[in-house]
Structure 1
Amino acid sequence: IYENEEIRNMYTALGVTVGTLDDPKALNLVKLRYHKLIIMTDADVDGSHIATLILTFIYRYMKELVEQGYVFIAQPPLYLVKKGKEQAYAWTEEQRKSLVEKIAGGKEDSVNIQRYKGLGEMNSEQLWETTMNPNTRTLKRVTIESAAEADRIFSMLMGDEVAPRREFIESHAKYAKLDI
């Protein structure tokens, strides 16, 4: 895996190497350049899958970053609800409905609802305000437990055993929202 150019670039950008005096396989954080590694993906199902892949890699090869509390996941909103000059962001369908109720008395046709299919649909000001500005963004710290769960799910979905994968897909299909 260390032969992969993108992986080498990531290690170089972070300033980490493999190997310490105590353990030749441990991640060496002596020259770590950043104490916040923020994973920023789209707020939809595809973004969640990408975040799971990244978390799995970090958990397997850079676990020390998680153990030190340096890994975060940005939480971009799914919706912008606007009526006149009043606007608010929503991260879930339930929050969107609540905002429509609050701003427009539940009348959806009287508000403008923008659903973000991806980070690229936000203009630079919206992306800064919701996801990048340290004063207003929402970050979720990754714990060993959440990274281990991402690793477990990834291993199950990509593994050779069909039955657990089928069971997972069937039990989680109700949460999928197709964007077609």
Structure 2
Amino acid sequence: MAETGARWLVVMGVSGCGKSSLGAALAREFGLPLIEGDDFHAPESIRKMRAGVALTDADRAGWLSRLGQELAAHDKGAVLTCSALKRDYRDRLRAARPGLRFVFMALSREEAQRRVAERAAVHMFPASLVANQFATLESPVGEPGVLEVDATAPLERLAAQVRDWA
């Protein structure tokens, strides 16, 4: 295991990009707790997504507040998986935990669609909402503290990229 240090990372991107897999690998690598963003959605938001209804900024407001509280509660660092699709969402998380860094898992719309369709039987997010994720996405590339990675790369390579950067 790599050295443990106070670092806070958000693994972000559209649904199907591999946030949970990379987040779990990084949490193990850095010896940090993993905060799985999907675990904090309100029941009504989960019902909406399962029904194929896209979440609004209002739906996400309480969720983002809760994720910010989770980040703030971990004094020695944490890895959060969260779509963080808009700059405003990322800024809300940054306000909760200054110094927060983001790993943006870049993925094509076609690949995201394929991946989400493959896991439809076991995940709350339907493939019908992938287009909305891309319509909502405001790329974080160019923002401070952001590393863009190719979400189609092998997990080990992605973890090494983040380790070298973080």
The question of a shared fold, defined as TM-score above 0.5 by the shorter chain, is answered with no
Could you say which structure has the larger radius of gyration?
1
TM-score normalised by structure 1 residue count: 0.27
Greater relative contact order: 1 or 2 (C-alpha under 8 angstroms, separation 6 or more)? 2
TM-score normalised by structure 2 residue count: 0.29
